[in-house]
Homo-oligomer: A and B are copies of this chain.
């Protein structure tokens, strides 16, 4: 990307009324644009981050043989009525709308019902199980308040995975595979060290579910934890009964902190397959209800969490795995600009560089590179070129070194 050609600019201020630090920074750095509270447009840099996050998730889910699909946003009421999730009294975050030809529709806030219906077309016998499908899809939730930037959107990107099994044992086995995949995903996304599988309420269907909580101050959940014992509990299940269930000695002292839920995994069992009638014929010729699991990751929320976790007073700090580009070339002076442009063109195919070739002050370029959080800033200036070296600064640590150009880009 050439800074002189992109339509986006860094901004001095986020729009009034934007309270969330993640959105403030992302707007100022030119990654997103606010449409309204909880609804954001993704600009070229922001979209690249989303795509990189998606690709990491995709690779790990493909590894456990899940298949990618794309279901619709528009939802007819019937399947949701069967599971008692259509009524606004039951689910209070629906956006509803009307078909011109008559009839109410909803905008999917999640996809358990349609995916269960979908599988009814394809699952007939035990031979058709197990199966797992997932999608990256825009979800709509009519939140009363939306003040957390991209951490809690009214329109947001989610990865939802659903699995289908003959037996509970098989569901358990796949559930563990997902736990493994999730560990790898959060590790690759750069938030593995502060993201923990956490006991949470399973609602009225199972005693517990698991959430993936990233421990950051801005998180909306309260987490009690004992890192040594590797126990993490959402406040909602922090009580004597649960501690007894989990075999935690009385008197164990927990620390309290805030967490942002970046994912959750849930053994649905028959919750949807039973009311919606998803069943199969066993080897013995009997009809049996399909066991289901569901597994979410909030893709745009993860983006927000990464921003909140790493940003500093200078702006965004993005881990290399999700940064829109790896390098930010600051061109300075006539020869510097010529050289920087040459480098940019040379590695153009790799598509890992921003070239700041704008006609603005050197200091502004330096600051924008920091605000935008690009991992490696490379200053290519007339003076540096005299000694054949460039100045390389790592955004995360702030460390600056002088290096030859070959050394900087040799690995590309």
Chain A interface residues toward B at CB < 8 A = 5-9, 11, 33, 35-36, 39-44, 47, 50, 65, 67-76, 92-93, 95-101, 105, 107, 114, 118-119, 121-123, 128, 131, 133, 138, 140, 142-145, 154-155, 164
CB-based contact B44/A69 at 8 Å: yes
CB-based contact B97/A95 at 8 Å: yes
CB-based contact B142/A100 at 8 Å: yes
A35-B114, A68-B47 given; A144·B107 CB < 8 A: no
Q: A9-B122, A41-B72, A101-B144 are in contact. List 16 more A-B contacts (CB 8 A).
A: A11-B121, A33-B118, A39-B72, A39-B74, A41-B70, A42-B69, A44-B68, A73-B155, A74-B154, A92-B100, A95-B97, A96-B97, A96-B98, A97-B107, A99-B142, A100-B144
Q: Identify which of A35, A36, A44, A47 gathers the most chain B CB atoms within 10 Å of its CB.
A: A35
Contact for A44 among B33, B67, B95, B140, CB less than 8 A: B67
Cβ-closest 3 pairs across A and B:
A7-B131, A42-B70, A100-B142
B contact residues around A44 at 8 Å (CB): 67-69
CB-based contact B41/A69 at 8 Å: yes
CB-based contact A5/B122 at 8 Å: no
B contact residues around A121 at 8 Å (CB): 11, 33
A7-B67, A144-B100 given; A35·B72 CB < 8 A: yes
Q: List 14 A-B contacts (CB under 8 A).
A: A7-B128, A33-B118, A35-B75, A35-B76, A36-B74, A41-B118, A42-B71, A47-B68, A50-B70, A73-B140, A74-B154, A96-B98, A97-B107, A99-B154
CB distance from A238 to the nearest CB of B (A): 30
CB-based contact B71/A41 at 8 Å: yes
Q: How far is the CA of A99 from the CA of B95 in the complex (A)?
A: 7
Q: How far is the CA of A128 from the CA of B9 in the complex (A)?
A: 10
B contact residues around A138 at 8 Å (CB): 73, 138
Q: How far is the CA of A204 from the CA of B69 in the complex (A)?
A: 41
Q: How far is the CA of A331 from the CA of B99 in the complex (A)?
A: 47
CB-based contact B74/A8 at 8 Å: no
Q: How many copies does the complex hold?
A: 2
Q: How far is the CA of A98 from the CA of B121 in the complex (A)?
A: 34
B contact residues around A100 at 8 Å (CB): 92-93, 142-144
B contact residues around A97 at 8 Å (CB): 95-97, 107
B contact residues around A69 at 8 Å (CB): 41-44, 47
Whose C-beta in chain B lies nearest to the C-beta of A2? Answer: B65
CB-based contact B6/A145 at 8 Å: no
CB-based contact A65/B123 at 8 Å: no
CB-based contact B143/A6 at 8 Å: no
CB-based contact A7/B123 at 8 Å: yes
Q: How far is the CA of A376 from the CA of B388 in the complex (A)?
A: 54
B contact residues around A131 at 8 Å (CB): 7
Q: Identify which of A5, A73, A143 gathers the most chain B CB atoms within 10 Å of its CB.
A: A73
A122-B7, A122-B9 given; A40·B72 CB < 8 A: yes
B contact residues around A133 at 8 Å (CB): 7
B contact residues around A164 at 8 Å (CB): 7
B contact residues around A96 at 8 Å (CB): 97-98
CB-based contact A74/B7 at 8 Å: no
B contact residues around A50 at 8 Å (CB): 70
CB distance from A164 to the nearest CB of B (A): 8
B contact residues around A75 at 8 Å (CB): 35
CB distance from A49 to the nearest CB of B (A): 11
Whose C-beta in chain B lies nearest to the C-beta of A1? Answer: B67
Whose C-beta in chain B lies nearest to the C-beta of A62? Answer: B351
